[in-house]
Amino acid sequence: MASAEAIHLAGGPKIAMRYGRLDAESVPAEGFLPDAHPPFHGEKDAAAHLRRVFGRMGFGDREIVALSGAHTLGRAFAERSGATSSGYGKKGTEFTSNPKHVARGDGKAGFGMAGGQAWTEKWLSFDNSYFTQARPGLNHDSGKGSLWLPSDDALKTDPSFRTFYDQYAASQERFFADYADAHRQLSELGSQWAVPGGIVLDFDVAGYRAQLSKCRGDLRAFIDAENCNPILVRLAWHDSGTFDAFRRTGGANGSIRLKGELKHGANAGLSKAVGYLRDFKKKYPMISWADLMQMASAESIHLAGGPEIPMRYGRVDADFSPAEGNLPDAHPPFHGEKDAATHLRCIFYRMGFGDREIVALSGAHTLGRAFAERSGATSSGYGKKGTEFTSNPKHVARGDGKAGFGMAGGQAWTEKWLSFDNSYFTQARSGLNHDSGKGSLWLPSDDALKTDPSFRAFYELYAASKEAFFLDYADAHRQLSELGSRWVVEGGITIPTSKL
């Protein structure tokens, strides 16, 4: 940061920096940095030496010349590198020891400690003068004028280097563009990041916000037309629900878009939901997958009559998936746990949730269906193989009375399974119902919420009060949507609410 800011402050280009580097505790062996003078580690000349040293870092000729242009700034000292005979204080040149000389580009006087020999006259100004000043020859022991070392001279004499040297002498813009890119690469060599993708400070928050707002409008229209609210809610939940608070793995990081994770047994059927969002990702490329999924879910709930969830955005996508097996099962053997309640606690406590959130979040089953072909949690399948609530085209599943429910089939928990209300807690439950092909679904994991005494307290609260359910649901959903998320800007990005 200090380096990039120093360049920008001196009039140089703005460098697209990322932060979040992890510090190393070990020291590399000596001898990796380039020399300015022979014997160049035994290489035949300065050009060969530069190529070997920079090539090892992954750089090519263009970057060697561009990065060398950083010598537009600064000096060499006899007492440090010994690359010049000019030393500290008065032992410098007319550009470094004369207090009247102005080295800054903005015309301000002063240059800290005096002395040394600089490559350029204005050696506190970042411009392309390293490439434009007249170079009568090597100049490192005259104690006068500007410095020019064998390693600098190679950039003028080697034919390949020279093409870039001439380009930069002719165009400061060209130099700045190549320099900024090479410097960014240099600043990231071998860096390990605390956060996947690093942390970007100069993130275009206003641009991101604008895309989020537009995307929200498009998503609303799409969801309303497709009636795909439930699958979008399930997609976001399955992205978040892998979170392991102890190991700090998984979470709302968009990794469910990756083919390997979509193939996890629990995610059967969800590639359809990722497919729905692909066009939105193309249209709004700034928006991360993680944000897109979470936005689609929160909007799906709100559109279906559910609470407005106070969302934050700016999640960074992960490029790797957690191991399989982090999501809850609806049926025994519950990963070997003694019953459904223990299993649910095991899974949701791992995410950092308590009993209240387990019951509130399960209330999301007020929306949607299970399919024989996906989870297999019901015998009801696609199309006509559903129930009177899912396969009868005359049945109205939306809360606003509009007809239509997208693809037919499956078995739903509630009659109005495209309406978000507290009916998951209020409908009469005569017992488990997942293989009758009739009526509403009720699985062992749902039943635990009624039978376990601690869960039951919340179950009854939500059955008695839709307001209490909405309040707790919105809060738990917000937490769920942020599990393990890494943010491009601290605190995330919010957008103003907008009426449906």
Q: Catalytic residue, from 183, 238, 302, 434: name it.
A: 238
* Binding characters for ligand HEM, 349-378, by CB under 6 A (x = yes): ------------xx-xx-xxxxx--xx-x-
Q: Which residues inside 170-209 make contact with ligand HEM, applying CB under 6 A?
A: none
238 is catalytic: yes
Least distance from C-beta 6 to ligand HEM, angstroms?
A: 49
CB count within 10 Å of CB 376 equals 15
Name the β-bridge partners of 249. 244
Q: How many helices (H) and strands (E) does the chain have?
A: 18, 4
Closest to ligand HEM by CB, 346 vs 461, is 346
State yes or no: residue 406 binds ligand HEM (CB under 6 A).
Answer: no
> Is residue 112 packed enough to be buried (19+ CB in 10 Å), middle (13-18) or exposed (0-12)?
exposed
Closest to ligand HEM by CB, 183 vs 369, is 369
State yes or no: residue 433 binds ligand HEM (CB under 6 A).
Answer: no
Is residue 56 within 8 Å of 98, Cβ to Cβ?
no
End-to-end CA distance of the chain: 43
* Tokens read off for 497: 């609410």
Select from 17, 149, 186, 231 the one that contacts ligand HEM (CB under 6 A).
231
Q: CA torsion, points 261, 266, 271, 272, in degrees to nearest 10?
A: -170
Least distance from C-beta 241 to ligand HEM, angstroms?
A: 7
Name the β-bridge partners of 285. none
Q: Looking up tokens 């932060």, which residue turns up?
A: 19
- Tell me how far apart the alpha carbons of residues 232 and 224 are, in angstroms, rounded to a whole number: 12
- Tell me how far apart the alpha carbons of residues 97 and 93 are, in angstroms, rounded to a whole number: 6
Residues in the chain: 500
Select from 269, 352, 437, 439 the one that contacts ligand HEM (CB under 6 A).
269
Least distance from C-beta 328 to ligand HEM, angstroms?
A: 4
Least distance from C-beta 331 to ligand HEM, angstroms?
A: 8
Question: Which residue is closest to ligand HEM by CB?
Answer: 368
Q: From 133-141, 310-318, 322-330, 419-427, give the range in contact with ligand HEM by CB under 6 A.
A: 322-330
Amino acid at 343: H
State yes or no: residue 264 binds ligand HEM (CB under 6 A).
Answer: no
Least distance from C-beta 213 to ligand HEM, angstroms?
A: 24
Eight-state DSSP code of residue 112: S
Interface positions with ligand HEM (CB under 6 A): 230-231, 233-234, 237, 269, 328-330, 344, 361-362, 364-365, 367-371, 374-375, 377, 445
- Which active-site residues does the annotation give? 238
